[in-house]
């Protein structure tokens, strides 16, 4: 019997959250039966490739990595169920996933680590609480971490994203040149791939599913990546439909502009709250 690979949090009223243990990737978040996340119709679920959509877990590296795959191994490794879904007194549903070093991870990144990833499904919110622990007695390690969230939208050209004004950003569509955001809301009408630094703790994305707003609150994730591949790069991805780019926007909370430096015996915690408004 194949071990389970998918965990479902069911809060009732067709509000659910589905996690694939491959990368602890949240692959669905339905609020009153409305899907909030984008997963490509061409996503590959072979237990090897990162799932194209949902919320891939980027760790210990954001971007290209000389020791292993782009965006690190967190999103392409099988996580453990630390705590199966449990209904809390509040009516919310909680589950905890965990990852620790292995021969596979140490072959790329020779450090011991413990990662716990707690998800809480509330009526119209999804809470993420993450802890990274360094169990070593003498080794310090540094890492990036980012939740690579693909939001489902009717038409990305109608979305506005707040919380970026005045922020410095690295523009990966312009050879990594650095600019400052002057707009109070960011819109997307072309290939967009930007690492905004020291952004607001809160972003609002307008015109998500059902014309609603999505509120993102983040703690200890100082940066925000905004990505849409647009047509040409959509065509370059075999696990992404050529016609899918208008229906998604990535707004990614992360600690990527500078690494987290974790001393022996200490832990780093970060969290995110997504709320349908
Ligand atoms: O988060 C934006 C980004 O870094 C883009 O540069 C693009 O590479 C995207 O991630 C997807 O990366 P992937 O390795 O999943 O194809």
- CA nearest 254: which of 195, 181, 192, 187? 195
- Interval 138-152: pLDDT, tens: 999 999 999 999 999
Q: Torsion over CA of 32, 162, 194 and 109, rounded to 10 degrees?
A: -60
Cα(2) to centroid(ligand 1), Å? 31
Report d(CA 132, CA 134) in Å as an integer: 7
Split at pLDDT 50, 70, 90, the class of 1 is low
- Out of 2.70.98.10, 3.30.565.10, 2.70.70.10, 2.60.120.20, the CATH code matching 6-155+216-276 is 2.70.98.10
**Pairing mode, strands 15-20 and 25-31:** antiparallel
Residue 194 DSSP code: E
- Calpha distance 106→100 (Å, rounded): 10
Whether residue 252 lies in the annotated active site: yes
Q: Where are the domains of the chain?
A: 6-155+216-276
pLDDT (mean) for 54-69: 98
CA distance 187 to 111: 40
Asked if 247 contacts 101 with a C-beta cutoff of 8 angstroms, the reply is no
Q: pLDDT at residue 2 above 80?
A: no
Is residue 123 part of the annotated active site? The answer reads no
The closest residue, in CA terms, to atom 8 on ligand 1 is 63
User: How much is the average pLDDT of 156-169?
Assistant: 98
Entry pTM: 0.98
pLDDT value, residue 173: 98
Atom of ligand 1 nearest to the CA of 50: 15
Q: Cα dihedral sign for 104, 107, 112, 118?
A: negative
Dihedral angle sign, alpha carbons of residues 215, 62, 194, 178: positive
From CA 183, how far away is CA 187, in angstroms rounded? Answer: 9
């Amino acid at each position: 019997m194949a071990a389970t690979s998918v965990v479902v949090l069911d809060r009732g009223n067709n509000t659910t959250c589905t996690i694939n243990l491959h990368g602890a990737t949240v692959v669905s978040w339905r609020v009153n039966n409305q899907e909030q996340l984008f997963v490509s119709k061409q996503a590959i679920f072979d237990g090897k490739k990162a799932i194209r959509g949902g919320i891939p877990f980027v760790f210990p590296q954001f971007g290209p990595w000389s020791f292993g795959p782009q965006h690190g191994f967190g999103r392409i490794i099988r996580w453990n169920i630390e705590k199966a879904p449990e209904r809390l007194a509040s009516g919310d549903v909680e589950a905890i996933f965990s990852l620790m070093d292995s021969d596979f991870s140490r072959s790329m990144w020779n450090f011991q680590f413990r990662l716990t990833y707690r998800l809480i499904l509330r009526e119209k919110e999804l809470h993420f609480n993450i802890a990274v622990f360094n169990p070593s007695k003498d080794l310090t390690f540094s890492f990036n971490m980012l939740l690579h969230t693909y939001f489902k939208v009717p038409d990305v050209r109608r979305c506005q994203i707040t919380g970026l004004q005045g922020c410095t950003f690295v523009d990966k569509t312009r050879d990594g040149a650095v600019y400052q955001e002057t707009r109070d809301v960011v819109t997307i009408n072309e290939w967009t791939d930007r690492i905004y630094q020291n952004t607001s703790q809160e972003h609002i994305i307008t015109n998500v599913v059902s014309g609603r707003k999505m509120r993102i609150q983040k703690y200890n994730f100082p940066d925000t990546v905004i990505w849409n591949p647009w047509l040409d790069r959509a065509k370059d991805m075999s696990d992404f439909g050529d016609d899918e780019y208008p229906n998604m926007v990535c707004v990614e909370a992360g600690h990527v502009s500078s690494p987290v430096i974790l001393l022996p015996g200490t832990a780093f915690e970060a969290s995110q709250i997504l709320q349908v408004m």
